[in-house]
Structure 1
Amino acid sequence: MATVSRTLAGNYPVSAVTRARVTEAVEALHYVMNVHARALSGQVAGPVALVMNDITGPSLAHVAAGVEQEAAANGRLSLVCATHDDVEREDSLVRMMLEQHAAAVVLVGGAELTKAYTRRMTGYAQALDAVGSRLVLVGRPPLPPGVPATVVEYDNRSGAFQAATHLLAAGHRRILFLGGTQINTAVQRRAGFLDALRAHGVPFEEELEISGPYTRASGFLRTRDALRDGLEFTAVLAGTDMVAVGAIAALHEADLRVPDDVSIVGFDDVPFASDLTPALTTVRVPYEELGRVAVRLALEKQEHLSNDDYVVLSTQLMVRRSTRSLLDS
């Protein structure tokens, strides 16, 4: 066993004959080294763990792609886990990553900023820091100063401001705002929408704000109900592209054309947004870059090469064909 170990590790001189015999045996037996044992001995770099609520969402899938790319570039394995909105499962996954000696645990997705959230995230951060790992929060609320965690966000507020300003500058005054729940990303997008209304001197009308989950079904139902209730609007600002897709379906069901009758703007710029008919005007979020930056900062922190604990990436309005100007009418 010792001879085989020395040969495979390459850290001890063995004869050419012995090396050939060991290599032949390894190939014949399809032998695979025990990665966990090597990790415990410090011979292999720890993996990067990505923990998210749902791995099927188009936006989060691109975060996962960025994490995998950056991890692979640094010779690390990636582990992808889903919590399905279960706090207990999230707890057990973080504990499991501690046992796996993960170099970093990246938690992705919006969350409601509560005392319970802060307490739980602080516990994760301190436990991971104690074993030389790093907690990275992507698109989640930041933690109090002094907590050993890295936060990577994107500028939701500015993105929503750009989206609303695009509609307001085109003459739209009655904009149906399909916002989200009390998660941090939705709160920031609502703030950006309100900023734009104030900047253009347009009063906020409560009846034009309908909150709900960031899903296609919710976008459809909220828009359909608004139309059935006789709510008048010339544009829709959807909290996500999936909500926008649902809203478009409801508008089509009511024989309303986009953008001739109603303009619509989304948020995310998921891959199919430009393939819709008409192509969707939306706010582009650099999801893959979020994943890459999260891993890069965590590994640099582990090697004491970076002092960055809080990074905000910019968003960009992508103007396509789902909006039109009322000023040209």
Structure 2
Amino acid sequence: MTKKKSSDFRYNTGETKVPWAAVGENYNAKDLKQVVRFLMQGEGDAYQAAMSAVDQSIDALGKIATPPGKLSLGSHVEACEREVNAYLGTDSALFVTNATAGFEIAYKYANLQVGDEVIVPAITFVATMAYPVSIGAKLVFADLDPLTLNMDPKDVEKKITSKTKMIVPVHLGGYPVDMDPIMELAKKHDLVVLEDAAHAFGTSYKGRKIGTIADFTAFSLHEVKNCTSFGEGGILTTNVDAFKGEMSRARFLGLDFSGKIKDWLYDITAIQGKYGPFVASNNASTTELQAIGLSCQLKRYDKILAERRGAAEYLNRRFAGNDAILSQPL
């Protein structure tokens, strides 16, 4: 009997395993060398000599190591989500392709329809508004606090009508919106609150981490953010208890991989939203490499934030006394 190669990985979701490997072509040593050269670029004799040593090490490892098998939504993604939960104080962190994918899940939960109104701040990135516009919902712009440039809760209250479905506060530049009055308005008018926290991973409001307050919160892990996962990524959290069990299905086309799927037949299933079912029509799956990248940054993220805060404090001191510049308090 021929011994099965360790790289011959098969998914274990079906009740009967299929007689072929269920993954694509494995990466080889040459591919990994290119990845190292991309992540650690340089030139000159010393760089080339160091890379030659790396090449030899990769070649040696290639003779004894085995491929990882699962590259997407594996154990590293699960572990990373647990680490994010521990950091934020949440229990629902979902690692998705980007914050925009997280927004879409939250908007679908709210069952936005043509003509429904969504209150957003007058200054934000287009991703905040893309999904409502795409399905024919109406954007209502709230005025801003002149110091923080975040939405003004007093103006939000003025903009609420019988057609309002959602309030979407944006923590611009990582500075928190005044969330208490926003949540009071949402409770009074039965509205869904989605926090656009693309800039605010790790931000706190009155001692509470952003992500623990609103119905939904979406964070960005894009390459320009304080914390990143190899260039792209996002985190979605929810405080809607009834939806926590649906989060993983909402990420991947409504499919549930928590148990075995009979005969490898995948059905498109509806997910229960606030006012009725919706179809998760997007695949926002993340890779194991992204999870490893995020996990590494999480381990030193407090230091990253401390360095950035130190830089901001320095600028505030230097700008003090200049009437032309209004600095945000830290």
- The TM-score with structure 2 as length reference comes to 0.32
